[in-house]
Amino acid sequence: MRNICRPFTLYSDFLPPAKTSRDWKYLAYGYFDGVNIGDNLLEDGIWNFEKMWLYLESEKLHLDGSYTEQTIFGFRTEEDSCEEDMQFWKDIESDKYPFLFLILIQDEVNGGNLNGLCYNRRRLETGLSANKGVSAISYLTLDSSDLLLVLACEEYSAGTKLIDSFHTGDGSSVLSQNGWNLYFSYTIPAIRKSFLNNSDKIAGLNGILDSAYIHIIEKYPGGIKEVYNVINDKWSGEATGIKTEKKAVLGCNDELIIMKGIPWSLFLSFYQDETGVLNHSSSVYQKNIIGVTTILGEEGKERGVRERDGGSGGDKAVTVSESLRKECQVLRLDNESGRGRMVRKEILSVLNSLEKYEKGESVGNQITFNGYLKWKLTGNGRELLHYEEGRFHFSDEKQTEVMGLDALHLENEKDIKDTIYALKEQAHGTSAVFLDGKAFEDELDRLDRNNRLCRIKPVSISKSEYGEEEKKRFRELLIGL
């Protein structure tokens, strides 16, 4: 087995960004500003988590207060995967693949099944690489994603069309055909900077970018005007049919520039080091702008409605939390008193949190309705709770723990627990008070004054000479009270 651990580091500039920043290999579009891909940390193929730690420590030494970074470790564990991994990264260093996509994927089927993940991961790589102008490799991760998928593409549109197909929901995508059922994905598009900063190379790109949405934070009121003028000056020499719009927006950004139908060669020139007006190393940027976030858009296929259970009206699967929420909305807890409304608010809050962890289908959980506003929730055949006559009842399964007693390290712990278990059998409110000396007498007087006390002869339950018969009678006395 040849194990691989390759670090993928994502960078975000502080605002306003420094004129010079760390020289990462890829410029990213969207939330992140840059991407670096490190060498395989396990050259000998043997697991060594110390090397991962040392890599992160070395990254910390570069931090200079101008950016933040996040590192995702990608792992491969199959036979000969080392050669495949090395060949992939060697190939994309050529000018053939300037565009890179990092896709973090959560899956509904393969999560938690390592063998299934590895098998379907290899199938997916083969299926994706069969597309013209696309090379693919994938890695397992240690974070909340099941897979880190890497696409290297000759053209930006080749990658976006494949990624867009993941979300159609009709089972026709290469993702679905190779054993994956997408739950969530997050994509980071990037371009290799050595290609970006070579004007001759980007001039050779023939494609058209469908749309770009450039969100800008001004350094001072009106600062966007100079930036917009520089863009329009370069724009004027291009063919007709290109559209640009400038809009004022509210929120964390001040201005929005929309570009549609722009040639890649022109668009990328705005992001070149030193000369690109939308690159923070340029003088125009430094003078007028605090921050730029660029979102790229491509025209995609119309996405179908995801169907389940053979239906035609969309996703009919109802989660447990959704069912309970509907019930809560019609309940009248404690006759809608202030306390009742508070309880309902707390229940809804819990259900909102639970829904985050439900993946579409509530496998193993079932709600059974037994009449008007009467239902029970079971999980894997065991009743978890039921609702009847305006009250929630948790599982009837006998509780065997008395919270807090174990931490007290009582000498007569067993006797005290036996007493509390006996009190619990009354099935109504009961107090057990354990006090010493005067505090005990004071509590008895207080309860007596409030008619909350039935005095009996004091009994010590810790005396070793008491036999099982005496203890039994004592428990019966408590229950009788």
- Distance separating alpha carbons of residues 358 and 437, to the nearest angstrom: 53
Please tell me the predicted confidence (pLDDT) of residue 276: 92
9 φ/ψ sector (left φ>0, alpha ψ -120 to 50, else beta) = beta
Please tell me the predicted confidence (pLDDT) of residue 393: 72
**Cα-Cα-Cα-Cα dihedral sign, residues 172, 174, 176, 179:** positive
**Cα-Cα-Cα-Cα dihedral sign, residues 131, 137, 141, 143:** negative
CB 454 within 8 A of CB 481: yes
Say if residue 160 is exposed, middle or buried (CB neighbours under 10 Å; 0-12, 13-18, 19+): buried
Least confident of 190-194, 223-227, 331-335: 331-335
Long-range contacts of 219-228, Cβ-Cβ distance < 8 Å, separation of 24 or more: 219/16, 219/287, 219/288, 219/289, 219/290, 220/288, 223/287, 223/288, 223/289, 224/254, 224/255, 224/288, 224/289, 226/284, 226/287, 226/288, 227/277, 227/278, 227/284, 227/285, 227/288, 227/289, 228/257
Residue 440's CB is within 10 A of a number of other CB atoms, namely 13
Please tell me the predicted confidence (pLDDT) of residue 33: 92
Q: What letter does residue 323 receive in the DSSP assignment?
A: H
Tens of pLDDT, residue by residue over 121-155, are: 888 898 999 999 999 999 988 878 889 999 999 99
Q: What letter does residue 465 receive in the DSSP assignment?
A: T
Mean pLDDT of the residues in the chain: 77
CB 52 within 8 A of CB 46: no
Of 277, 297, 301, the closest CA to residue 289 belongs to 277
pLDDT band at 398 (very low <50, low <70, confident <90, very high): very low
Q: Which domains does the chain have, with CATH numbers?
A: 4-195 (3.30.70.920), 202-297 (3.30.70.920), 320-394 (no CATH), 406-480 (no CATH)
Once rounded to an integer, what is the mean pLDDT over residues 331-352? 65
Tens of pLDDT, residue by residue over 65-76, are: 888 899 999 998
Tens of pLDDT, residue by residue over 16-26, are: 777 777 788 99
For 365-379, letters b (16+ CB in 10 Å) and e give: bebeeeeeeebbbbe
Reading the block at residue 75, the tokens are 């792992």
Tell me the three state secondary structure of residue 422.
helix
Please tell me the predicted confidence (pLDDT) of residue 229: 87
- Distance separating alpha carbons of residues 190 and 378, to the nearest angstrom: 47
CB 184 within 8 A of CB 111: no
233 or 470: whose pLDDT is higher?
Answer: 233
**Lateral strand order in the sheet of 391-394:** 365-371, 374-379, 382-388, 391-394
Q: What letter does residue 45 receive in the DSSP assignment?
A: S
Task: State yes or no: pLDDT of 79 exceeds 50.
Answer: yes
Reading the block at residue 426, the tokens are 């009354």
pLDDT band at 249 (very low <50, low <70, confident <90, very high): confident
Tell me the three state secondary structure of residue 445.
helix
- Distance separating alpha carbons of residues 480 and 210, to the nearest angstrom: 81
Least confident of 56-65, 199-208, 232-241, 446-455: 232-241
Please tell me the predicted confidence (pLDDT) of residue 159: 92
Tell me the three state secondary structure of residue 395.
coil
The per-type count for the chain, helices as H runs and strands as E runs, is 15, 16
- Distance separating alpha carbons of residues 460 and 467, to the nearest angstrom: 12
Predicted TM-score (pTM) above 0.85: no
Task: State yes or no: pLDDT of 329 exceeds 70.
Answer: no
Task: State yes or no: pLDDT of 171 exceeds 80.
Answer: no
Once rounded to an integer, what is the mean pLDDT over residues 82-93? 86
